[in-house]
Amino acid sequence: MTERLVPYQPLDLSEPADLVAAIRERRGGQFINLDRMLLHSAPFARGWNAFLGEVRNNLTLDPKLRELAMCGVAILNRAEYEFIHHAPVFLSAGGSQEQVAAMRSMGSKPMPENLFSKVEEDVIDLTIQMTRSIEVEPALMQRLQSTLGNESLVELVGVIATYNMVSRFLVALQVTPEH
């Protein structure tokens, strides 16, 4: 493996103390490699920690739909790190191993029939459209708005947009899974 262009910050990083403490608190006491990369820029890491903390913990959107969208973005953008971190959360939110396996081919072949609910299929379609072509079919947005309501639809679109940002950061800086 080639040496990484931007090295990870050390696991025992202690400064800036308030930021390090906030990240460790959100992560249950430890850093993941994403944090170690973000900590090269305190303002960026601070904003990321606050924003992603809200997206991960305080939305009204069904957690299974949130994680389905996050996993979908990861697969579409070839961000394995992101997928590894979100597939277990998808499972704990009610997803199945069969769904996780099927997600691996998202965007390259149709999803198996009857494996996902209608709303989950729409979430997958939205994830693909937002990630690949940016523009979304109005009929899809109308179905999702009718099913989810305004708040959850806005949150779903925000999750997909946010995790497109995350995956692009991870891939460009070659952030690798923790071992």
Which residue, 23, 72, 32, 31, is CA-closest to 176?
32
Interatomic CA distance for residues 31 and 67, integer angstroms: 21
The two structure tokens encoding residue 171: 């891939």
In tens, the pLDDT along 19-62 reads: 999 999 888 888 899 999 999 999 999 999 999 999 999 999 99
Number of domains composing the chain? 2
pTM, two decimal places: 0.93
Main-chain phi, psi angles of 58, to 5 degrees: -125, 15
The two structure tokens encoding residue 160: 């997909």
Of the candidates 6, 26, 57, which is a domain's last residue?
Answer: 57
- Tell me which residue range forms the domain holding 28: 17-57
The two structure tokens encoding residue 10: 């050390």
Say if residue 35 is in the same domain as residue 74: no
CATH code (residue 111): 1.20.1290.10
